[in-house]
Structure 1
């Protein structure tokens, strides 16, 4: 079983912001694989289904970004999901829009949501897919809580398709195959 987590902030005021790309990917996965993301528990909203013959849980923590680890920690302990089968999808300001970066492990890199997940899992070893949201031209808080332009949204749709393919590759062939195939992805 895989736990696939998209990071974001709950509430309509945060919809379509740079910080919520993880939520958007989870919604797209739910639609593609016909997984209803409607169960409320573990400080999140989630759904269970199958991707490429593997049972999965799609999760959107509802704790706000900086406390995402509370939800991830609770659900992973309850279902006894090992860290190597927890895939976290989130925004990265150091990557241009239209780029993704896959890692099997690593530090938080200044991302408070990842920092909190590392604290709750007591490990930096879990797969992650970073989605480029561009570099801030000023205050980083306003940047990550800002909306995308029409041109950026078009790039993101292609990026999201690549992220879905990345998750499928991780499930079928492993994290190394996904890194080899998608770390050079660029829209």
Structure 2
């Protein structure tokens, strides 16, 4: 069994925050693979089902980001899962918007959700790092993370969520490299400029024919007699 955890903050006011892209991802996975319904469990919202033959539990902790580990730890203990059975979807400042990377273990780099998960579950869980970009100024990070995605972001965000949902079977089967590759290929296809149709080849037109000249008509017998008479 795999425990797929999306990180975010509960409530409508945070729903479109960049910090909530983990919630958005598990919502997309649930919809794509027909999991659910969502129920209140483990201090969060949970949905069960199967993806590619593997039993999974999707979890959205409702404890707020900095206490995400409480909900995840409770679910992991109930199902007797190790950190290696856990996959966490979270926002990543150090990746460009739309980029996705996967790794196991590591630090939390100041991410309060990862910090809480490490405290409650250990550090060796899998992380799906979803790029939201950096505002370029450390003083603007909080406003950026807790700000909503712009309308223009939908051009890459919606296809990205769909691509991760489509590639989820590879992730739960343990083929993280294929998951990343499939998502990258899908995003490349989205961003690739449409090919312009080849110009239509016109059929060559035949050269205009010169106007036909009528051959002089042969002299008539009467005309010939008249000519002879005049010339003596």
Instruction: Give TM-score scaled by structure 2 length.
Output: 0.74
Match of 2:117 in 1: 117
- Residues 25-40 of structure 1 correspond to what in structure 2 (within 5 A)? 25-40=25-40
Moved more, 144-153 or 132-141: 132-141
Q: In 1, are the aligned partners of 2:39 and 2:46 still within 8 Å (CA)?
A: yes
Offset from partner CA, 1:64-94 (integer Å, 9 cap, x none): 0111000000000001112111000010111
Deviation at 1:167, TM superposition (A): 2.9
Larger radius of gyration: 2
Match of 2:147 in 1: 146
The reply on whether 1:66 has 2:63 as its aligned counterpart is no
Q: In 2, are the aligned partners of 1:37 and 1:59 still within 8 Å (CA)?
A: no
Once residues 132 and 2 of structure 1 are traced to their aligned partners in structure 2, the CA distance between those partners, rounded to angstroms, is 23
Q: In 2, are the aligned partners of 1:17 and 1:144 still within 8 Å (CA)?
A: yes
Once residues 173 and 117 of structure 1 are traced to their aligned partners in structure 2, the CA distance between those partners, rounded to angstroms, is 21
Offset from partner CA, 1:11-30 (integer Å, 9 cap, x none): 11001110000111111111
Structure 1 unmatched runs, 5+: none
- Residues 79-158 of structure 1 correspond to what in structure 2 (within 5 A)? 79-121=79-121, 123-137=122-136, 138-158=139-159
Change (3 A) 1:72 1:173: closer
The reply on whether 1:7 has 2:7 as its aligned counterpart is yes
Task: Between the two structures, name the one with larger relative contact order (CA 8 Å, sep ≥ 6).
Answer: 1
Match of 2:195 in 1: none
Structure 2 unmatched runs, 5+: 192-232
Once residues 15 and 172 of structure 1 are traced to their aligned partners in structure 2, the CA distance between those partners, rounded to angstroms, is 29
Instruction: Give the match's secondary structure for 1:139.
Output: helix
Q: In 1, are the aligned partners of 2:8 and 2:22 still within 8 Å (CA)?
A: yes
Instruction: Give the match's secondary structure for 2:47.
Output: strand
Q: In 1, are the aligned partners of 2:160 and 2:183 still within 8 Å (CA)?
A: no
Change (3 A) 1:30 1:177: closer
Q: Runs ≥4 in structure 1, deviation > 4 angstroms?
A: 179-187
Q: In 2, are the aligned partners of 1:97 and 1:133 still within 8 Å (CA)?
A: yes
